Amino acid sequence: MLSSTGRYALLLLALLIALFPLFWLVRTSISTRRIALAEEPVWLFKPTFDAYRSVFESDYPRYLMNSAVVVTASVAMVMILGTLAGYSLARFPIRGKEDWFFYVITTRMGPPVAFALPFYIIYERTDLLDSYLGMIVMYVVVNLAFAVWMTRSFFEDIPKSQEESAMVDGLSRLQAFLRVTLPQAAPGLIATAIFIFIIAWNEFFYAAMLTRDSARTFTTALPQFVGFSRIRWEEMAAASVVSVAPVMVFAALVRRNLVRGLTFGAVK
Amino acid sequence: MKVSADRLEKSFGDVVAVDGVSLEVEDGEFLVLLGPSGCGKTTTLRIMAGLERADSGHVYIGEQCVDDLPPKDRDIAMVFQDYALYSYMSIFQNIAFPLKVRRQLSKVEIAERVRATARQLEIEHLLDRRPTETSGGERQRVALARAIIRQPRAFLLDEPLSNIDAKLRVLMRAELKVLHRRLQTATICVSHDQLDAMTLGTRIAIMDRGQVRQIGTPLETYTRPVDLFVASFLGMPPINLIEAQLNGSGGVDIGTGLDRTAVKLPPPVLDAAERHASQPDVILGIRPEQLQPTYHLEDGILQGDVYVVEPIGSDQYAYVTLATGERVISRAEPRAELTVDTRIAVKWNLGETLVFDKVTGLRIAPS
């Protein structure tokens, strides 16, 4: 339909539109206060890392660390629980299986606002507010449905005969799962883990509701750059770049797995 | 080692998959479980492998009852319909897997065995490849290599030839036979293809709706089927079934009204029919190769019109609508000149006629 150059041109355009905000972010992070606030955008200027310096000297790194701990722990938990649940749903004849599955999915269907207050009350009574454990549990609850759903479909794509063959060859069911099924499901599982990581990493609402300061994640720390007299754009940009960078690097590293996992079932 | 099943029963919810199946396979035997889809043959095989648990009944390997043993402890090998090769391992690693997992041999010994087995199946040149880089026939040989390398007590094969194209299938059938003759291990094979069963099996067990209808050698089941189901299932083109009535004067009557024709049956066939049939209505079974169309109308027993001619090179089949109304398939000389919509007479090898009781469907055997 479109010529080769036409297609490339379109792709380039889409790429430019998608990447422009990121570019602007980085540009703002290395600009001075004057340039950041300028009415007419200045394109060429001498970059400065002052913004980064002040971000690192503030409390921000601590919030970043909180995010890292909470998100990594919850992703690990979710993947362990979700993978085992997904495998069971894919393989075993459980009575009322589809009902259980639907029930798990519904946990993701409600709006966060509806759950916020009940959770707040529970957390307050059980002393989980503003704690690592509280946030980890919250993120597990939020992401489990997605993990179960995704892992189930990846396991269903692997024929049962793979494990059965391994079982006849000399492995128990658990060993067959670990040595034969998991390696083959790995791309899909990695893709799921990355998705969940990104969801949890960017999560704002529950973080805002259930943390104060000691377990505060970076998402709710960013608004702190809205100052009394002005919005500290260049610092907010620097903080954002620092927060976005780990995810981007991570995704770039596992890029091949990510694509493979996303298209796993697509080509038969 | 002898493998046997004793009155296995298995249901999935309301569906009865296996309904009292008993069978026995000795070393040197190749038993084919044959039947249409849903007859319970694969479920039976899986119960014997230990992948399903029977609701009742027992599985024995040798004298040992293995009901409570998981598949890995039964010392059997299974080849699955889709071969179940591990896609992320090389062919070498696939074949070595059963040995590696048992940890009884050193790496060097395993490598030796893998090469020897691969050589036996002529796949040595594939050892460094991945399963995705091999053809269907090659994959099947890898699956077989993986099964035989352990020298198990029995082999279970699930539709081994289903995923192969017709030409390769003929070659693989022969190879399987040679392999079996060499190894002499008791083998149970599941198939829905009666030709595979006839060519591979030393014995065939024909199953229908969870039950074994007949177990016998290919020739036995072909020439002396126990009932209409077995008679119709074996043989390609399928057996001709003609409704008839014992006429009390040395034969049967076929057809109705003005076209009613009497056919004399030879003594053994007639004796059996007259003695055992519960009522005069019977069904005659006659295989296509026992009927021959001829333009010499006086040579045939019944007349009819040809409506389809199938010249397949080595054979020629003529589909005939008899004057009495039935449609039959007859086998003509390969080079005979047959034309559609012409009148022929059917020569009938009456001694080979099978008689079935119309009500029960069972064959009435001459004594």
CB-CB contact of A134 with A215 (8 Å): yes
C-alpha triplet B248, B252, B253: angle, nearest 5°: 110
Place of tokens 């006086």: B298
Domains of chain A: 58-262 (1.10.3720.10)
Q: Is B78 on the interface with A (CB under 8 A)?
A: yes
Predicted confidence at residue B105, as pLDDT, reads 87
Using one digit for the tens of pLDDT, what is the confidence trace for B63-79?
999 999 999 999 999 99
Q: Is A97 on the interface with B (CB under 8 A)?
A: no
Predicted confidence at residue A267, as pLDDT, reads 45
CB-defined contacts A:B, below 8 A? 53
Predicted confidence at residue A82, as pLDDT, reads 94
Using one digit for the tens of pLDDT, what is the confidence trace for B93-149?
999 999 999 888 899 999 999 999 999 888 999 999 999 889 888 999 999 999 999
Q: Is A169 on the interface with B (CB under 8 A)?
A: yes
Residue A28: phi, psi to the nearest 5? -65, -35
Q: Which residue of B50, B72, B82 is in closest CB contact with A171?
A: B72
- Structural element, H or E, at residue B111: helix B107-120
* Region at B355 (left for phi over 0; alpha for psi -120 to 50; beta for the rest): beta
The amino acid that residue B210 corresponds to is G
DSSP code of residue B359: T
Residue A69 tokens, joined: 């701990």
Domains of chain B: 3-224 (3.40.50.300), 240-357 (2.40.50.140)
Count of positions (residues) in chain A: 268
Distance from CA of A165 to the nearest CA of B (A): 6
Predicted confidence at residue A226, as pLDDT, reads 83
Using one digit for the tens of pLDDT, what is the confidence trace for B217-234?
999 999 999 999 999 999
Sheet holding B316-322, edge to edge: B291-294, B343-348, B302-311, B316-322, B327-332
Distance from CA of A78 to the nearest CA of B (A): 26
Those residues with Cβ within 8 angstroms of residue A117's Cβ, 6 or more apart along the chain or in another chain: none
Question: pTM, whole model, 2 decimals?
Answer: 0.82
CB contact under 8 A, A168 and B88: no
CB contact under 8 A, B101 and A170: yes
Q: Is B82 on the interface with A (CB under 8 A)?
A: yes
CB contact under 8 A, B70 and A167: yes
**Mutate: best of B11, B15, B45, B72, partner A, most A CBs <10 A:** B72
CB contact under 8 A, A164 and B70: no
User: C-alpha A102: how far from its chain's center?
Assistant: 23
* Long-range contacts of the stretch A10-18 (C-beta < 8 A, 24+): none
Predicted confidence at residue A265, as pLDDT, reads 52
CB contact under 8 A, A165 and B80: yes
DSSP code of residue B290: G
CB-CB contact of B120 with B40 (8 Å): no
- Residue B61 class from Cβ within 10 Å (0-12 exposed, 13-18 middle, 19+ buried)? buried
What is the average pLDDT score of chain B? 91
Rg, Å, chain A Cα set: 23
Residue B77: phi, psi to the nearest 5? -120, 145
Q: Which residue of B76, B78, B88 is in closest CB contact with A183?
A: B88
Distance from CA of A178 to the nearest CA of B (A): 13
Rg, Å, chain B Cα set: 25
Place of tokens 């009495």: B324
Q: Is A162 on the interface with B (CB under 8 A)?
A: yes
**CB contacts, 8 Å: B80 with chain A:** 161, 164-165
CB-CB contact of B246 with B280 (8 Å): yes
Q: Is B71 on the interface with A (CB under 8 A)?
A: yes
Q: Which of A260-264, B23-27, B39-43, B337-341 has the lowest mean pLDDT?
A: A260-264
CB-CB contact of A238 with A55 (8 Å): yes
Using CA atoms, how far residue B122 sits from B99, B127, B138, B141, B145, in Å, is 20, 11, 9, 8, 10
Q: Is A158 on the interface with B (CB under 8 A)?
A: no
Predicted confidence at residue A199, as pLDDT, reads 87
| Cross-strand partners of B23 | B5
Count of positions (residues) in chain B: 367
pLDDT in tens, chain A (268 residues): 678 888 999 999 999 999 999 888 888 888 887 777 777 777 777 888 888 888 888 888 899 999 999 999 999 999 999 999 999 999 998 888 899 889 888 888 888 888 888 999 999 999 989 999 999 999 999 899 999 999 999 999 999 999 999 999 999 999 999 999 999 998 889 889 988 998 899 899 999 999 988 889 988 888 888 877 788 888 888 999 988 888 888 778 777 776 766 665 554 3
Q: In chain B, which ranges are E strands?
A: 3-12, 15-25, 30-34, 56-61, 64-65, 76-79, 154-158, 186-191, 203-208, 211-216, 240-246, 251-254, 261-264, 281-286, 291-294, 302-311, 316-322, 327-332, 343-348, 354-357
Beta strand B15-25 pairing with B186-191: unpaired
